[in-house]
Structure 1
Amino acid sequence: MKEENILYYVDNNVKSLQRNYEICLEKNIQELIIYYGIKLLKKYGKKNSIYKWNLYEEILKACIELKLYEYVDIYFKKLNDRFGHLNGKKIEILKGMVYELKDKNDEALCIYKNYIYNDPSDLLIRAKIVKLKKKVEGNINNVIQILNDHLKEFPVDVEAWHELGEIYLKNCYYTYALYCFEEILIHAPKNLYYILSCAELHYTISQYELSSKYFCLSLKLQKNNLRALWGIVLVNLSRYGNKKGKNFNDNVDVILTKKCIDRLYNLYDKNTNFLYRNLILQYLKEIGESFV
C-alpha cells in the first residue's frame, strides 16, 4: 500500500482512531479495518458495549474477505459465544459467511434459504444464494438460468445484470449481452463503461447507427475518450469506407468522422513518449484520406 494512502493517528487519541476506522469502513479498506479495529478493541475490550461487538463484526467480515482463516475462527468464536444462544439473524448470516469461506456450501445455503423463506425481499441474502448456486453449479446453462430466475424477481439488481451480460459476452451471445448492459443503463445512464460496451456490441452486430449514437454519448460525457473517438472512426469506415457519392462531404457522419480523426491526431501528436505514436499518426493520415 502506498505510504500516502495510509491513515495516521495520534497515540491514545481515541477520536482520531475512530475517525480513521470509519474512513476505512467507508472506503472498504479491509487491511486497515482490521488494523484500526484491533486498536479500538484494546480501548473498548473491557466494556460490554454495542460498539465493541460492532468492531468484532466488522473485523470478522474483513478477515473473511482477506481469507485469514485463523483470525476468522478467533473473532467468530467471540461473537458466537456472546450471541450464538440467541439464534439471531445477524450471527447466523455471519456463520453462513464462515461456512462459505471454508467451502461448506451446503451448510451456508441451508442458512440463507431459511432466512429468504421468511423474507423474500432481502436482496443481500438473495445475492448470496445466487453466488453459492453458481459456485456449486458447473453447467454454464444452469448458471444462466439461475441468474435469469433471480432477475425476474429482482430486475433492479445491477450486479446480476452485469454478471449475466459478461457470461453472454464470453460465450458470444452478443444480442443477449447487449440487452443486459442496456438494462444497467436504465439504472446508471451516465456510466461510461456500459455506454461504451453497448456501442461496441452494436458495432459487433452491425447496428452501426445505434453504435454511433452510443459513441457520441460517450464523447458528450468525456470529449477525449479514445475508445469513443476510435469507435466513431471504425463505425463510419464500415459504413462509408467504399462509398463516395455526390454529397459525400456534406454527410453528417463523414463530417463527424473527420473531426474525430483530427482530435485523435492531436491527442497522439502531443504524446511524444508513446511507443507507437508515429505508426498511429501515419494510420490516421491514411484513414483521413478515405474521407476526402
Structure 2
Amino acid sequence: MAPSLLRPTTQLSPEAALTLSQQAPTILRSSPSTVSSSALNALFASSEKPELWLQYENLILACLRTGDERSAHQCLERLVARFGPDNERVQALNGLVKEAEAKNNSELEAVLKEYDQILSENDTNIPIAKRRIALLRSMGRLSDAASALVQLLGFSPTDAEAWSELSDVYLSQGLYPQAIYAMEEVLVLAPNAWNVCHPTTAIARDLSPMLMQPVQIHARLGELHYMNATAPGAGSGSYQKSMAEAIKRFSRSIELCDDYLRGYYGLKLVSQRVLRDPGKPPVRSGDSEFALPDRSTIERLNELATAKLSEIVRRSTAQDRGWRGYSEAEIAAARELLSGDASASLAIKR
C-alpha cells in the first residue's frame, strides 16, 4: 500500500519515496492548479482544504529525493501562487529546491548568500535559519553550523529539535560532553516525548530531504555516554561516570518501550564492556553519585539484554506476527553483537 501524503516523508525508505513521487503527476492533474487567496473569491469557489498544501510540501520532498524536479517545481509554483513568495515556509521550500538542483559548491554558496540576505532583513525567519544550518552541514562547515544553531537557540531557547540538532553537530565533531549537554536539554524541554529523530531532527521538520530515523531520547543519551566513556584519552573517573549513566539511560529506554532493540543492544554492549574490562573496576558506591552497579547486577543486566536480543533476532527472522517492525540493519547488528556469546547463539537457533 502506498504511504500517505499527509504523513511526514522524511522517514520514508527510498522505495516508499519513489512510490509517492510517481503519484505526483496524477495528483497535480486532479488538484486545482490555482487557488485564490482572496476571501471574496473564496465565497464562490469550492472550499479550500489545508491537506492540499501539506500534500504539495510532502510531494516536493519526495520528488527531490527521486530526481523529479519538474513535479517539485509544479508543486512549488502552486504554493507560491497561494501563499506568496514572501511566505517564510515557501521561501524555505524554494531554497530547498535550489539546493537540490545545485551542480557544484559555487551554486550552493550562491544559495547560502540568498539565505544570508533574507536573514539580514529578518533574522527571526526560522525556516530559512534552519535551511541555512542544513546547508552548512551538507557543505561540511560543522563549526559554522554549530554557531548558527547556538544563535538560533538564542532567540528560540525552547526549540527541543534545535537542541537535538546541536547535539548531533557536536557529536560529528567528537565533542561528546557538549553533545550530552545539548541532548539533556531535549529531555528537559520534552520530558514526555520518549523519542526524537536523528540526525538533523530540527531541520527535518522544516524541509530537510534527509532520511530520519526515530531514536529514544534516553537511548540516544546512553549512546553518547558510551562514546564519551570509550573515547581516546578518557580518564578513569570519566569512564566510570559515563558508563554508569549509559546503563541508566539504556535501562530507562527499555522500561519505556518494550522490545526496543536499540535499548537492549546498548545495554548489552555497555554491560559486556564493563564485565570484560578488568583494568577499570567499578567505583565503590560511597565514592560517587554516578557509581557503577556491583558486578552481580551488571551480570544480570547482561543476561537480560542477551536473552531479549536473542528473542528479537529469532522471532523477527522467523517473521512471527508482531515482530516484523525491525529493520534488517538492526537485526544484523544485533546478531553480530551476539555472535561471540555462546549462550546467545544457542538461544537464536532455538
Which category of TM-score, normalised to the shorter sequence, fits these structures? Answer: 0.5 to 0.7
Counterparts of 1:239 and 1:187 in 2: how far apart (Å)? 38
Check if 1:126 corresponds to 2:129.
Answer: yes
Equivalent position of 1:99 in the other structure: 98
Higher relative contact order (CA 8 A, sep 6+): 2
- Partner Cα separation in structure 1 for residue 254 and residue 70 of structure 2: 50
State the secondary structure of the residue aligned to 1:24. Answer: coil
Task: In structure 1, list runs of 5 or more residues that go unmatched.
Answer: 8-22, 246-250, 285-292
Indicate the residue corresponding to 1:166 in structure 2: 168
8 Å contact 1:203–1:235 — kept in the other structure? no
Query: Map of 1:64-213 to 2, 5 A cutoff?
Result: 64-73=64-73, 76=76, 87-89=85-87, 92-103=91-102, 104-109=107-112, 111-113=114-116, 115-117=118-120, 119-135=122-138, 139-189=141-191, 190-191=194-195, 192=216, 193-201=219-227, 203-204=229-230, 205-206=238-239, 207=241, 208-213=243-248
CA distance in 2, matches of 1:56, 1:219: 37
Choose which of 256, 261, 264 in structure 1 pairs with 2:297. 256
Distance 2:66 2:112 in 1: 21
> Which stretch shows the higher mean deviation, 202-211 or 45-54?
45-54
Aligned mates of 2:182, 2:25 — CA distance in 1: 42
Question: Which one is further off, 193-202 or 87-96?
Answer: 87-96
Superposed counterparts of 1:272-287, under 5 Å: 279-281=340-342
Instruction: Say which structure is richer in helix.
Output: 1
Separation (CA, whole Å) in 1 of partners of 2:113 and 2:337: 56
Does residue 234 (structure 1) correspond to residue 221 (structure 2)? The answer is no
Could you say which structure has the larger radius of gyration? 1
Question: CA 1:201 to 1:143, structure 2 compared with 1: closer, same or farther past 3 Å?
Answer: same
The residue that corresponds to 2:325 in the other structure is none
| Residue 18 of structure 2 corresponds to residue 24 of structure 1 | no
SS at match of 2:294: helix
1:39 is aligned with what amino acid?
T
TM value normalised by structure 1: 0.63
Post-superposition Cα deviations, 1:203-229, rounded to whole Å, max 9, x if no partner, equal 334124333332332343356613214
C-alpha contact (below 8 Å) 2:92/2:127 kept by paired residues = no
8 Å CA contact 2:221–2:246 kept in 1: the answer is: no
Q: Percent identity?
A: 17
Letter in 2 for 1:26: R
> Of 26, 33, 40, which residue of structure 2 is paired with 1:39?
26
Give the paired residue count.
256
**Contact kept in structure 2, 1:165 and 1:181, CA below 8 Å:** yes
Deviation of 1:176 after TM superposition, in Å, equals 2.0
Counterpart check, 1:218 vs 2:267: no
Mapped partners of 2:294, 2:66: distance in 1: 50
| Contact 2:160–2:186 (8 Å) recurs in 1 | yes
Q: Which residue identity is paired with 2:304? A: R
Structure 1 residues 163 and 278, CA, compared in 2 at 3 Å: closer, same or farther?
A: closer
Structure 2: gaps of 5 or more residues: 10-15, 37-47, 196-215, 231-237, 285-291, 318-334, 346-350
What secondary structure does 1:6 align onto? Answer: coil
Letter in 2 for 1:165: S
Equivalent residue number for residue 15 of structure 1 = none
- Using structure 2 for the length normalisation, give the TM-score: 0.55
